Amino acid sequence: MSTTPSLIRVLQGETLERPPVWFMRQAGRYLPEYRALRAEAPDFIAFCLNPEMAAEATLQPMRRFGFDAAIVFADILLIPQALGQDVWFETGEGPKLGLMPSPGAMAEKAEAAGSHLYQVGETLSRVRAELEPERALIGFAGAPWTVATYMLDGHHNTIGKGERATARSYAYSDPDKVGAVLDALVEATARYLKMQADAGADALKIFESWAEGLPDDLFERLVMKPHQKLVARVRELGVTVPLIGFPRGSALHAERYAREVDVQGVALDTACSLERGREVQKIKPIQGALDPLLLRAGGKALDARVDQLMEAWGARPWIFNLGHGILPDVPIDHVERVLKRLGAQ
């Protein structure tokens, strides 16, 4: 039996009898053991940067469900902190960020971003030491544009948050500044991902949570080019592990993204049709795309959709996952139901 994790085998182009399974945000509030652990930390950032606690959070769903891959417990907004911007989380309101440093100041700190966030590397090392060799360990980072939207919005924007209105307006009105911010984030994120690979990550994922709704010209400038630059820089730094790109909300661009961004897998969101997923699959392995709301609803509709996805995508390289993060109120038995349906439990 090969000890190469099934997720890595799929990213290398293999089609397996059943797809490897993991869920975005699989370590989180739907688990009672997570909620108990989280209550011990003074705040969310401190929790993310405590290697003992973050490693425990990473491993909790692996012990409970036996997923085929673990993803390190961290947050995409650790990078702004490494670049000198204050970041904090307010209960019920989500992330808040202070005044963004100048692009020049951030560029000066970008090279040290990986070492600044060494605690995440320690978390990865702890998890890799405990995780069975046949289970993959995934590191991740937010994509440059997604992280930039939070940095540019700060805590002042109160309208259009779902469209990242403030950040998108800056992209139009001050493209040079936004370009400089993205360049600093490319370098910082590349250094951060290299640190994670060096610490034991078997694969790395790039989360572009705010690719949705961008017109063609902005998608090219804010998503495609920064992803291409980031992947190239990661490889320049000597990273060899596979990369998964997740341009959420951009199913219409998925085939082009798969062709033109040198990732080894493309994660698809809930709006991606079965037909389009098959077309992307002809280019590269895919991941996705069960609706988290359906996972919460459960029942026969959940069974039927799992079967549909298996029928549509199971004959080519595919990683079973959600199309977005698991919701805090998802019943645990619904997760178990999916795993049993797939023959993964």
The catalytic site residues sit at 25, 29, 38, 75, 150
What H or E segment, with its residue span, contains residue 176? helix 175-198
Provide CB contacts within 8 A for 94, sequence distance 6+.
Answer: none
290/341 Cα distance (integer angstroms): 13
Residue 155 annotated as binding? no
Residue 324 annotated as binding? yes
Residue 118 annotated as binding? no
Residue 258 annotated as binding? no
Query: Torsions phi, psi of 208, nearest 5?
Result: -105, 85
Residue 25 annotated as binding? yes
DSSP class of residue 102 equals P
Token pair for 125: 């090392």
Token pair for 148: 């930039």
Cis peptide before 289 (omega within 30 of 0): yes
Report the sign of the C-alpha dihedral through residues 271, 5, 59, 81, in that order: negative
What H or E segment, with its residue span, contains residue 287? strand 286-287
Query: Torsions phi, psi of 142, nearest 5?
Result: -70, 145
Let me know: does 341 contact 18? Beta carbons within 8 Å: no
Residue 267 annotated as binding? no
Residue 35 annotated as binding? no
Beta bridge partners, 206, equal 141, 245
150/148 Cα distance (integer angstroms): 5
Interaxial angle between packed helices 103-110 and 175-198, expressed in degrees from 0 to 180 and rounded to the nearest 10: 20
Residue 162 annotated as binding? no
DSSP class of residue 220 equals I
187/204 Cα distance (integer angstroms): 16
Residue 28 annotated as binding? yes
Q: Which residue has the tokens 């993310």?
A: 48
202/107 Cα distance (integer angstroms): 28
293/308 Cα distance (integer angstroms): 16
Where is the binding site, in residues?
25-29, 75, 150, 209, 324
Where is the binding site for substrate, in residues?
25-29, 75, 150, 209, 324
